[in-house]
Chain A
Amino acid sequence: MSDARAAIFGQLRAGLGKGDATARRAALEAALAQPPRGPQPQRPADLAARFRGRAEALSSTVDAVAARADVPAAVLRYLGARGLPPQAVATPELAGADWGALSLRFAAAVDADSVGISGCFCAIAETGSLMLLSAPETPATVSLLPETHIALVDVHRIVPTMEDAFALLRTERGRLPRAVNFVSGPSRTGDIEQTIVLGAHGPRHVHLILIGS
């Protein structure tokens, strides 16, 4: 134990004047197993519509397709309309599918990648956010370094709130990955005269493809 640690804890305990840290710790740790939620927002009637509305308000663009099989065509359409070549870096979890005319590299992103394609763990209707988890098959850089991030969102994976996203994470994964990233639209800054500019350091364009209905 460092001197600093001992000194800080000594002062904390003197200020609190509570004694018996062991018993208090047991009680607080027990309470962590049943975390209560704070005040919850109204649940929207249509989760996908709410998600889409919020995402668009955050300057993401949104497309919708009926099934996974329609995704490559939707990506090609989007890249074509933006005048971008049909190539991208993509998270390795997407490697199994048939990507047709698209030339994809399944890896972590590097600076030269201009388009990154990822899925998402789930999406949050309340704020129009994607929840991305880092893992070997879902490296975090794919949604970070490229100028354009295309994310695939299964409409069945849209949950009402951040608390619901955490509940899903607890049941499906148990523990937190190195990085949980909630991404809500393109990167932005307002640091020069409070004028909002998109594409500060992260992606300038976030394009969402909703799958299913």
Chain B
Amino acid sequence: MSGASQAMHFKARAGDKLADRILQGALKKAQPLFTAKRRKGMASLAADGLDFAAMRAAAQAIRQRVLDDLDVWLEIFEARAVAAGAEVLWARDGAEAARLIVELAQREGVRTVTKSKSMLSEEAGLNAALTAAGIRPVETDLGEYIVQLAQEPPSHIIAPAVHKTIAQVEALFAEAHGRPQLARTSADIPKMADEARQVLRRDFLAADMGISGANFLIAETGSAALVTNEGNGRMVTTLPRLHVVLTGIEKIVPTLEDFATLMRLLPRSATGQDISNYVSLLTGSRRDGDLDGPQKTVFVLVDNGRAGLLGGAFEPMLRCIRCGACMNHCPVYFALGGHAYGWVYPGPMGSVLTPLYTGLENALDLPHASTGCNQCGSVCPVGIPLPDLLHGLREAQNARGLRPPGERLTMRLWGWLARHPRSYRLLIRLAARYLHWLGDDDAAGRRIRIFGLAPAWTAGRDLPVGPGRSFFEQYAARKRD
């Protein structure tokens, strides 16, 4: 697991993922569950007399208000977090964040670190950095624990092991826990979860440092807000003597009231729950007389490409609250799974973030990994126009000369044709006839099986055959009748 991007290999990976029967089975099982959960969440919103459009407008306004003055909100957050007894550190990129945390761990004599899910930890390649320094990181979210055992990155931002089948999890557990492998069915899932509970409980109690992400940073109170279902977030932030909050600088929310508004949408968008089981606001460290809680709390606030988006065309992406709804409703995500995207964030939000955070030239395919259906944009609880941002990235690729010469030439020709209607119509007439001629007849009807000009289009499917005449010709013919 590391912060390095493999996003340049999207197309090659896509082919592998499509051919992976086990993965395809896992994805097929997961998708309807995800969409049904969100539908249930939206129904419960309506049952409480709340309108999704109005809630989304409110959530979007809260997040946008933060971005409009992000420098000042961060100052306010920092001042109040420090006043409450926490320490605040800043990192320009993932490597700097990892270095700060490793140094802190070494200074404090830390041997074992328990971790609650932090996507920034993935951006920073933190587990590799800790391991290299002889410190043992233990992922404690069950899904993260599974992918850590498999030595894989998460494939989904809220369901990290969604790509794993029960048999694969059983094989990992048997090996890691030193026991023979058993035949498992869904009825055994509680037993397997309990096994992980027993193993991880020992680590929770033994760890010297807990590292969590933060779903939000509350400026008003200088607090980290943490939302989990398993309770591992509470363990990691309560039991070890040190607590590190590792998160991005865009996570600010002004007030507790704003947080309450966002909490009506985040769990519902993510898992369909009205509320997640544990919602914690953590402010400073152990107070005088407290019997539990960490002695020291350190925030590591990371930029890693975020500040550069402010004031630009891609700024809306910083409103993201990491609910996962966009990937849960994405046909491309469910055809391939999250690993095809090659970096930390998959699905539509990943296709926007990966090129922005790791470099346009390092993720050339991702802005094109879209059908343009806008399912993602329609479910996003903070109104991020994901398809528009993907288009914007394609334009940026073009402007920087990052598209292949053939494609650029085609686009230029197309541009010329679009401005010359006579030539355009002539070409379309010819093309319509050519495409009709290309088709084969068989029992299933007339189809184009191999399209020589763009063979990739017909590699995995046939094209339907058109009527052999252009729209203009047909229109003119009908008008005559």
Interface residue ranges, A against B (CB under 8 Å)? 2, 4-5, 7-9, 11-13, 15-18, 21, 24-25, 28-29, 31-32, 35-39, 41-42, 54, 58, 92, 107-108, 111, 126-129, 134-136, 139-141, 144, 161-163, 166, 175-195, 197, 199-203
Knowing A194-B33, A197-B193, say if A32 contacts B50 (CB, 8 Å): no
Most chain A beta carbons < 10 A, residue from B143, B275, B279: B275
Question: Which residues of B have CB within 8 Å of A134?
Answer: 287, 290, 292-293
A197 & B234 in contact (Cβ 8 Å cutoff): no
B278 & A178 in contact (Cβ 8 Å cutoff): no
A192 & B189 in contact (Cβ 8 Å cutoff): yes
Knowing A32-B220, A39-B261, A187-B231, say if A136 contacts B290 (CB, 8 Å): yes
Rounded to whole angstroms, the CA-CA distance of A25 and B161 in the bound complex is 42
Name the 3 nearest CB pairs between A and B, nearest first.
A202-B231, A38-B261, A15-B310
Rounded to whole angstroms, the CA-CA distance of A108 and B272 in the bound complex is 34
With contacts A15-B311, A136-B290, A139-B290 known, what are 12 further pairs, Cβ within 8 A? A11-B310, A12-B249, A18-B69, A141-B291, A162-B260, A179-B237, A181-B278, A189-B193, A191-B159, A191-B160, A200-B229, A202-B231
Please give the distance in Å from A113's CB to the nearest CB on chain B.
12
Please give the distance in Å from B198's CB to the nearest CB on chain A.
11
A192 & B229 in contact (Cβ 8 Å cutoff): no
Rounded to whole angstroms, the CA-CA distance of A17 and B189 in the bound complex is 54
Question: Which residues of B have CB within 8 Å of A24?
Answer: 69, 72
B200 & A201 in contact (Cβ 8 Å cutoff): yes
Please give the distance in Å from B355's CB to the nearest CB on chain A.
18
Rounded to whole angstroms, the CA-CA distance of A111 and B159 in the bound complex is 28
Question: Which residues of B have CB within 8 Å of A181?
Answer: 234, 278-280
Please give the distance in Å from B371's CB to the nearest CB on chain A.
24
**Residue among B59, B231, B234, B287 making CB contact with A177, cutoff 8 Å:** B287
Is B380 in contact with chain A by the CB < 8 A criterion?
Answer: no
**Residue among B26, B234, B275 making CB contact with A140, cutoff 8 Å:** B234
B166 & A201 in contact (Cβ 8 Å cutoff): no
Rounded to whole angstroms, the CA-CA distance of A200 and B311 in the bound complex is 42
Rounded to whole angstroms, the CA-CA distance of A180 and B227 in the bound complex is 12
Most chain B beta carbons < 10 A, residue from A41, A141, A191: A191
A179 & B58 in contact (Cβ 8 Å cutoff): no
Interface of A is mostly: loop
Look across to chain B and name the residue whose beta carbon is closest to the beta carbon of A169.
Answer: B256
Is B369 in contact with chain A by the CB < 8 A criterion?
Answer: no
Question: Which residues of B have CB within 8 Å of A195?
Answer: 186, 189
A202 & B274 in contact (Cβ 8 Å cutoff): no
Rounded to whole angstroms, the CA-CA distance of A202 and B289 in the bound complex is 24
Is B91 in contact with chain A by the CB < 8 A criterion?
Answer: yes
Rounded to whole angstroms, the CA-CA distance of A184 and B229 in the bound complex is 9
Knowing A18-B69, A111-B205, say if A127 contacts B274 (CB, 8 Å): yes
Q: Give 12 pairs: A residue, B residue, CB < 8 Å, sorted on A.
A: A35-B220, A35-B257, A39-B51, A108-B292, A162-B263, A175-B283, A181-B278, A191-B142, A191-B146, A191-B159, A194-B34, A203-B231
Question: Which residues of A have CB within 8 Å of B261?
Answer: 37-39
A4 & B281 in contact (Cβ 8 Å cutoff): no
A39 & B256 in contact (Cβ 8 Å cutoff): no
Enumerate B66-90 residues with CB–CB distance to A below 8 Å. 68-76, 84, 89-90
Most chain B beta carbons < 10 A, residue from A9, A15, A139, A201: A201
Please give the distance in Å from A139's CB to the nearest CB on chain B.
4
Rounded to whole angstroms, the CA-CA distance of A79 and B89 in the bound complex is 47
A166 & B160 in contact (Cβ 8 Å cutoff): no
Question: Which residues of B have CB within 8 Å of A128?
Answer: 275
B48 & A180 in contact (Cβ 8 Å cutoff): no
Is B127 in contact with chain A by the CB < 8 A criterion?
Answer: no
Question: Which residues of B have CB within 8 Å of A188?
Answer: 229-230, 277
A200 & B289 in contact (Cβ 8 Å cutoff): no
Is B247 in contact with chain A by the CB < 8 A criterion?
Answer: no
A190 & B271 in contact (Cβ 8 Å cutoff): yes
Question: Which residues of B have CB within 8 Å of A194?
Answer: 29-30, 33-34, 159, 162
A136 & B278 in contact (Cβ 8 Å cutoff): no
